Structure 1
Amino acid sequence: MILLGYAAGPLFSTQVQPPARRRILLLAGAACLLLLALLRGFNIYGETLPWTVQADLLHTSMSFLNLTKYPPSLNFLLMTLGVGMLALAWMEVANERVVAFCATFGAAPLFYYLAHLYLLLALRGLMAAFSNGEAHQAGGIGEIWLWSVAVIAALYYPCRWFGHYKRTSGRAWVRYL
């Protein structure tokens, strides 16, 4: 994946015009998702656990998207790369404020990753403290999305601060984060 990132670097140079870059990203993203649909749809290759039809559409979709992340399966990579390339293509024409918002997290990805883990751990501790140590069961997919948005909002300013610190710092270990 790292080599793919390096190989894609020239696509984002000033020598490639945004419309051409967008077209390439759209085609590559669609190709990844189409290949995923074929491989996963027929349970051909790329995932050890086959998907099955469940009681309803939501659970069938969850079975279909239950992909192996560690080590990443071919289907997991096709899904994440396909969606990622489509998102990058969309950002070529997105509102500048939306792009700037996303770039805030992109300027400090490892910082965000580590900070969100500690924030979730702290939230879990608070929930346990207020519920007399009883485990909290998620109320459904809506609650999970709500918590996801809340974590992103809570970490926006810390990531913005760290992104600025990272750009202005001369320390190598800070640039690594």
Structure 2
Amino acid sequence: MNHTTPPTRLQSVDLLRGAIMVLMVIDHVRCYTGQPPGGPEPAIFFTRWVTHFCAPVFCFFAGTAAFFYGKKQPDQRKLTSFLFTRGLLLVILELTLVRFFWAFNVDYSEFIFIGILWMLGWSMMGMALLVRLKPLTVGIIGLAIILLQQLFGLLPKAFPSSFQEPFGRFWEFIYSSGLKGPPNVAILYVIVPWIGVMAAGYGFGLILQMEPARRRRICLQIGVGAIAAFIIGGSTRIALGIPDADDTRPFIYRLLDQRKYPASTWYLLMTLGPAIALIPYAEKARGWLARVLTTIGRVPLFYYLLHIPLIHLSALLVNFMQYGITGQEWYGIAPFSAVPPEYKWSLGLLYLVFFIDVVILYVASRWYAGYKQAHPEKRWLTYL
């Protein structure tokens, strides 16, 4: 009996990826509003928290997409070449177009932002080497990196103190170790543990090619198991006073406020567990919302590159309509904006702009998805 299905594109992956791409817009609109990234007020806290799913789920499914690309492209050299060149493209885009879109300036002496495309790009280039191994081996390596990531933080301490500072300028790109990185460089997304997340997603492709009933059962087991591990382990840490015994916030805040930079194991359990558990339901999803999310999930890079300048321009327009000024000077080092308190947006306005921008992004994504499907002969479209 054959226990696998043909390596076709899975709706569940596209739908869930589309969902987190939509959620991502909430946080990136927030960057231009003056609203903080979380806080004691429930509405602000959960406005930020719900977007925590974006980077882990996207990185994980990028690994899964690489697995299925390899199934359709059995020539390993072509898979390796594709991953390396696409990863290099993402790094270049991060430092050029994306940097400009965020801030609308090209003054690199003032500020350089190391964001998610940088992390995805270097992780893909690393995957170009790992895919020479069996998918199960790659998945195990990925899980090991996630679980043992703190060992990367100890490595710099093995060097003499005189060497730690120059070493830190490089190592802070790999894993945050408390060393001094390059000046005027904001490093949000380090390589570890994210390359482990992508590698785990690549190995996860073995499960997604199983026959549907078995696939759904295993996804539920993994997803619910990860959620349970997070709740039990996170609750135990809080009871023991880890990481901060003096934190007086309500229990739910302390449990959900896990470290993202760099992404802790608890953070990844909290975000990837629900996503994996939702796969069986995403496979069966129907209706207009499922179609919208699936369309967006099929063209993630196009959507990503478009959403930042759209949000930035929306912010300038809203500021002008409200105050008669664009406020561009507040966004010179966006996404770390400096909006004066008197010009801060309300959460209602934030969500209104989010909704309008998502509608525009969907219309553009639908057009591009159709264009891409109609022109399979244009190989460059596989990169966008």
Look at both structures and tell me which one has the larger radius of gyration over its CA atoms.
Answer: 2
Q: Which residue of 2 aligns with 1:41?
A: 235
Q: What pairs with 1:11-30 in structure 2 (closer than 5 Å)?
A: 11-13=207-209, 16-30=210-224
Match for residue 162 of structure 1 among 368, 371, 377: 368
Q: Which residue of 1 aligns with 2:318?
A: 127
Partner amino acid, structure 2, of 1:39:
G
CA contact (8 A) 1:18 1:92 kept: no
* Deviation readout 1:109-151 (Å, 9 max, x if unpaired): 11112222122111111122222346443434x6555544433
Larger deviation, residues 35-44 vs 117-126:
35-44
In structure 1, distance between residues paired with 2:280 and 2:256: 23
Q: How many residues align?
A: 167
In structure 1, distance between residues paired with 2:354 and 2:278: 18
Q: Which residue of 2 aligns with 1:73?
A: 264
Normalised to the residue count of structure 2, the TM-score between the two structures is 0.38
| Structure 1 residue 95 corresponds to structure 2 residue 286 | yes
Q: Which residue of 2 aligns with 1:5?
A: 201
* Deviation readout 1:66-105 (Å, 9 max, x if unpaired): 3333332212211221121123221122225443322101
In structure 2, distance between residues paired with 1:49 and 1:166: 48
CA contact (8 A) 2:219 2:276 kept: yes
* Deviation readout 1:3-59 (Å, 9 max, x if unpaired): 22221223333xx33232222111111111111212322337xxx9659442xx6xx
Larger deviation, residues 86-95 vs 145-154:
145-154
CA contact (8 A) 1:43 1:50 kept: no
Structure scoring higher RCO (CA < 8 A, sep ≥ 6) equals 2
Q: 1:31 to 1:148 in 2, by over 3 A?
A: farther
CA contact (8 A) 1:32 1:78 kept: yes
Q: Percent identity?
A: 28
In structure 2, distance between residues paired with 1:145 and 1:166: 30
In structure 2, distance between residues paired with 1:112 and 1:9: 24
| Structure 1 residue 108 corresponds to structure 2 residue 279 | no
Query: Structure 2: which 5+ runs fail to align?
Result: 1-196, 328-338
Q: 1:138 to 1:128 in 2, by over 3 A?
A: closer
Query: Structure 1: which 5+ runs fail to align?
Result: none
Partner amino acid, structure 2, of 1:99:
A
Q: Which residue of 2 aligns with 1:176?
A: 383
Q: Which residue of 2 aligns with 1:86?
A: 277
Q: 1:91 to 1:70 in 2, by over 3 A?
A: same
Deviation at 1:158, TM superposition (A): 0.8
Q: 1:124 to 1:170 in 2, by over 3 A?
A: same
Deviation at 1:152, TM superposition (A): 2.3
Normalised to the residue count of structure 1, the TM-score between the two structures is 0.76
Q: 1:50 to 1:89 in 2, by over 3 A?
A: farther
Q: Secondary structure of 1:124's partner?
A: helix
In structure 2, distance between residues paired with 1:110 and 1:11: 25
In structure 2, distance between residues paired with 1:161 and 1:126: 25
Q: 1:3 to 1:62 in 2, by over 3 A?
A: same
CA contact (8 A) 2:222 2:276 kept: yes
Partner amino acid, structure 2, of 1:65:
L
Q: 1:86 to 1:110 in 2, by over 3 A?
A: same
